[in-house]
Amino acid sequence: MYDAGKIMTGLVVFLVILTLPFWYSGAMGKGGARPEVKLPEGEKKCVESKEYMRDSHMDLLNQWRDAVVREGKHTYVSEGGARHEMSLTNSCMKCHADRAQFCDRCHVYLSLNPFCWDCHLDRKQTGQGAK
Ligand code: HEC
Ligand code: HEC
Ligand code: HEC
């Protein structure tokens, strides 16, 4: 006779190990385990709250792109009333000038490779970045 209990335990352990990368990336978005990133010096606030940015910066970027490309709008008004130009290069990368120490830190960790930089410049490429 097989021991059903042991088989179940083995199966559960196996499944957890198999899905470990998934648990990790899930926790990251919620502020759990994640790599160290270099935040901009001399700036205190992002476009929206840190929590929102952590979870939803990709959605915000899509929103910005659609607003600019489809509706010809260029100004974003944040929850707190601050105004920002809806631009990956001129806003996000102006504050987060060091892409390698910020955006790439998380994305490399997650094996993500957003293709945005095929077309959009970061500040180093525009020659306006931090060294
Ligand atoms: C005015 C400067 C400024 C702009 C513009 C800006 N950020 Fe930020 N960003 C910050 C600062 C400062 C923080 C840290 C906020 C804090 O600690 O509360 C931050 C935090 C973040 C975080 C969370 C980092 C973490 O530690 O979890 C992400 C992700 C992010 N920004 C992405 C973006 C993206 C994408 C854009 C463009 C849509 C953008 N930021 C535009 C200054 C900026
Ligand atoms: C604190 C970690 C962190 C930082 C910093 C960060 N990202 Fe992300 N980014 C993520 C995570 C996590 C995802 C994937 C979310 C998902 O798949 O649901 C992601 C996904 C994206 C995507 C969608 C890519 C795709 O293939 O779906 C874009 C675009 C993006 N990030 C842009 C940026 C930019 C631009 C910056 C720097 C200004 C930045 N991110 C900084 C964690 C981060
Ligand atoms: C094949 C080239 C290409 C790629 C790849 C690309 N974009 Fe764009 N994007 C454009 C063009 C062209 C515009 C329109 C520029 C304008 O009208 O000012 C634009 C506009 C935008 C805008 C609004 C204007 C601005 O200057 O930022 C945002 C935000 C944006 N894209 C985000 C992204 C993100 C995020 C990614 C990666 C997930 C991405 N784009 C990938 C070509 C590209």
pLDDT digits (tens, 9 = 90+) for 53-101: 999 999 999 999 999 999 999 999 999 999 999 999 999 999 999 999 9
Amino acid of residue 121: L
For residues 5 and 124, give the distance between their C-alpha atoms in angstroms, rounded to a whole number.
58
Are 47 and 53 in contact, with CB atoms under 8 Å apart?
yes
Q: What is the pLDDT of residue 52?
A: 97
Q: What are the structure tokens assigned to 45, written together?
A: 């606030």
The protein residue with its alpha carbon nearest to ligand 1, atom 24, reads 54
Q: 39 CB less than 6 Å from ligand 2?
A: no
Ligand 3: does its nearest atom lie under 6 Å from the Cβ of 119?
A: yes
Q: Nearest bound ligand to CA 90?
A: 3
Ligand with minimal distance to 112 CA? 2
pLDDT band at 131 (very low <50, low <70, confident <90, very high): very low
Structure token pair of residue 40: 């901009």
The finding on whether 71 has its CB within 6 A of some atom of ligand 3 is no
Supply 28's token pair.
């990251």
